[in-house]
Structure 1
Amino acid sequence: MIGKMQNTLAVILAGGRGSRLEPLTRDRAKPAVPFGGLYRIIDFVLSNCLNSGMRQLLLLTQYKAQSLDRHINLGWRPYFCRELGEFIDVVPPQQRIDDQWYQGTADAVYQNIYAIERERPDYVVVLAGDHIYKMNYESMVDFHIQTKADLTIGALQVDRESAKQFGVMQINEDNRVIGFQEKPEHPQTMPGDDQHCLASMGIYVFSARFLFEELCRDATLSGSRHDFGNDIIPSVIGDHRVFAFPFRDENRKRDAYWRDVGTLDAYFEANMDLITVDPQLNLYDNDWPIRTYQPNMPPPKFVFGSEGDMDRRGEALDSIVCQGSICSGGHVRRSILSPGVRVNSYADVEDSIVFEGVEVGRRAKIRRAIIDKGVVIPPETTIGHDVEADRARGFMITDSGIVVIARGEHIDGGGAFRHEIRNLSANE
């Protein structure tokens, strides 16, 4: 590993609560939530780092980090060699500076400033660990160096309504940032385009010395929220070289792909896109592979097919079926089956996301549902076919009518359910 990327450290913020994704985040951090059957959300930013030649990574965790830590140990540490100066370190809150949880994104980095300084980087790339996209960070670091920037911000065009959830930038003809508002009620649109705004992706490249100085300055301000978007960026654009770097999508489709799967409905839609004939997110691209932990399991299996009993035929149509799954005489359509799922005879699973180790009983019928890890659906159970009946039984229903069943929910034969108190395994 030589050149500029050897002197670049990635700091990945992976400590968010993910409250809008509950109950999927009841036992795990948002970056550890499964995605696309085989992956975790964190795998996308980590794959971007590896594909960009970045091999010095600090992963800052905070809430419910055990599952995430285990995933990194199992699936990611083999890619890094300490003897060559490579590492991926999971760093829980150290409380070396004070005894509080992280107060904001800048405070999370500031509280780990000793760990960052110890590596003596020239550049620090700050990333969020909970977005789905493909990006070459090396190109952004190149741009940062060429423009002699103090700070470079990843920039994405979004529609005016969506811009209310982002930091919104204004730039000059040289891509220098001349204005910034965090989550404005009335976002300023781009020149010549009154429908779109230039939004911050929460991806930053800092010159290391500049970052240290600004973090220390911000830490002394009593009125600061200690956040990059709310505090640090607005305070530096007037006196320092701050530039916007247009998002260059390595997904190589017609439209740029970047998703914040921060709500259950957004999460469901992003997963369901993967099963279309030509999905917007290409997981089958050998030039930009998405890596993850691959459990040692047998291949998927489809059994009981006969002309005499067409209803008892193991099949999956327009679906993703991961290793270890068995369709034992059941039907799966437009769904994602994670590793180790079993769909028993005459069961129907449609338009659903089924997490690892779920068992769907005989003649059960499931539609438009997210079922978390290890849940057992009893025979004859119906889920998602009558939303009001599901709500009356205590199931969680999203705004768009998706039924969500959390890990640890016990469903009895009559369809009612309760939360089962048990010892959770480390691999959530």
Structure 2
Amino acid sequence: MKVLAIILAGGKGSRLYPLTSKRCKPAVPFGGKYRIIDFTLANCINSGIRQINVMVQYLSDSLQKHIRDGWSILSPALDEYIDVYPPQQRFADAWYQGTADAIYQNLFTIEEVNPDFILVLAGDHIYKMDYREIIEYHLTKKADLTIATIPTPLAEGSQFGIMEVDPDNRIIGFEEKPSHPKPSPNNPSMALASMGIYVFSKDIMFQNLKQDADSPSSHDFGKDIIPKMVSRNAVYSFAHQNPDASPRYWRDVGTLKSYFEANMDLLKKDSPFKLFDEDWKFRTCQTQSAPTMIHITQDSSDSFTNSLITGGAIINGSVQNSILSPGVIIEKGAYVEHSLLFNSCHIKKGAKIRNAIIEKGVQIPEGYSIGYDSKKDGEYFTLTPEGITVVPKETIIS
């Protein structure tokens, strides 16, 4: 049985702006040392899937470099690879027009691999999944398409593809981001959401992609392909859940709020998403740096508590409940709380940072404060309705 994984990594990620002003969404840093796409790639490797195509488009330079430098671990001699595909313009002079079109433009490449099944994945979610389970389920159900699903609060259902299923988990209705999501029969406060993870039988996928390409549509799986397949093909729901039927961890980090919260999940005492898992390791492109230095003396009022810190950081000030990327410098008397600091940030003496995301290379001057005056923060930076301040890349604070 041959499985080809296709990771869709071409989205703009406009709701994550300004973090996506210089990079695509899958390339946004996460958890101090990773990029968002690392979690999908690691799931593939840990699931024994070694033929992976990554479809890129907008601002893909840093993502392509990251994959080249951090994921060149497979053996072409064994027909293993992670290949990156920008728009091929094989059928038209256009970029990818939608998620389905991204695959349609590369049908020639897929046909050369000749897989039995195609695993379609999003490159911008945080979760662990052994894809062998959904593939086995797909085989057991003799499905044409299997969609990984998870319950979501009804109030948030308009952000996802929402489906209805029969008692055998066959999908009998599908709406992409509906204005009024349909509740689950067993829990009217929840809806059944698509995780953007699909297993297709190859011939069925090719047939539906070709039909869609010849018709006027947005060429999108959620808007076009899946609703039509539900009415004419065997489409099943695969629940992403624990043995006790409770939902497993999965986060769509498509907004600044959800992105910030998912990072903060890593700092919880009983974190719902465990990075420190020897049985399911995550890899990335490692920065070559010196060890971390935490230099807080016993007579100092500074402290370091409940935080993640990566290589090359120098900590002389206070850090609480925060995540620090490589090369961050915190000077004596500075204070950082409940924040994300990207690579090579420099927080100078007496500066105070709270509830903030500080982009790569930004220097915070002595005595400056962020997160304490929403009017000032909103005037100079990006301020979310939840009170998270984002200081963009290349910001110069005088």
Equivalent positions of 1:15-164 (< 5 A) are 15-78=10-73, 80-164=74-158
Secondary structure in 1 aligned to 2:197?
Answer: strand
| Pairing 1:402–2:388 present | yes
Letter in 1 for 2:224: D
Q: Of the candidates 215, 231, 235, which is equivalent to residue 228 of structure 2?
A: 235
TM-superposed CA distance for 1:384, in Å, is 1.3
1:197 shift after superposition: 1.7
2:271 is aligned with 1:279: yes
Please tell me the residue identity of whatever aligns with 2:381. F
Task: Give distance in 1, aligned partners of 2:8 and 2:87.
Answer: 12
Q: Matches of 1:364 and 1:232 in 2, distance apart?
A: 52
Show the counterpart of 2:351: 364
Q: After TM superposition, list the pairs within 5 Å mapping 1:385-396 onto structure 2.
A: 385-392=372-379, 394-396=380-382
Structure 2: how far apart are the matches of 1:338 and 1:61?
25
Give the CA deviation at 1:290: 1.6
Are the counterparts in 1 of residues 241 and 247 from structure 2 also a CA contact under 8 Å? Answer: no
The CA distance in 1 between the partners of 2:325 and 2:232, in whole Å, is: 50
Q: Summarize the alignment of residues 202-281 of structure 1 with structure 2, pairs less than 5 Å apart.
A: 202-222=196-216, 224-248=217-241, 255-281=247-273
Say which SS state the counterpart of residue 203 (structure 1) adopts.
strand
1 CA distance for matches of 2:397 and 2:263?
25
- For structure 2, the 5+ residue unaligned runs are none
CA separation in 2, counterparts of 1:93 and 1:367?
A: 41
Matched-pair contact (CA < 8 Å) for 1:249–1:257: no
Q: What is the CA distance between 1:248 and its match in structure 2?
A: 3.5
Q: Give a deviation string over 1:71-106, Cα, whole Å, max 9, x none.
A: 10111112x110001000011111111112211111
Distance 1:249 1:225 in 2: 35
Deviations 1:5-51 (A, max 9, x none): xx100000000001111111111000000011111110111111111
How many residues are aligned here? 398
Give yes or no for contact 2:126–2:252 (8 Å, CA) kept in 1.
yes
**Gap change, CA 1:254 and 1:379, over 3 Å in 2:** farther
Q: 1:186 aligns with which of 146, 171, 180?
A: 180
- Confirm or deny: 8 A CA contact 1:134 1:249 kept in the other structure: no
Partner residue of 1:8? Answer: 3
Verify the 8 A CA contact 2:11 2:24 in the aligned structure 1. Answer: yes
* Residues 197-235 of structure 1: CA deviation (Å, up to 9, x unaligned): 21111111001111111101100002x111111111111
Secondary structure of 1:31's partner?
helix
How many Å separate the matches in 1 of 2:373 and 2:178? Answer: 39
The residue type paired with residue 63 of structure 1 is Y
Which residue does 1:289 correspond to in 2?
Answer: 281
| Distance (Å, rounded) in 1 between the aligned partners of 2:373 and 2:245 | 37
Q: Which residue of 2 aligns with 1:424?
A: none
Could you say which residue in structure 1 is the equivalent of 2:360? 373
| AA in 2 matched with 1:8 | V
CA distance in structure 2 between the partners assigned to 1:358 and 1:379 by the alignment: 13
Q: Which amino acid aligns with 1:374?
A: G
In the alignment, the residues of structure 2 paired with residue 375 and residue 192 of structure 1 have an alpha-carbon distance, to the nearest angstrom, of 49
Distance 2:320 2:19 in 1: 23
Matches within 5 A, 1:300-379: 300-307=292-299, 310-311=300-301, 313=302, 315-328=303-316, 330-379=317-366
SS at match of 1:63: coil
Moved more, 291-300 or 402-411: 291-300
Distance 1:207 1:105 in 2: 17
SS of alignment partner, residue 232 of structure 2:
coil
Counterpart for residue 417 of structure 1: none
Give me the CA root mean square deviation. 1.6
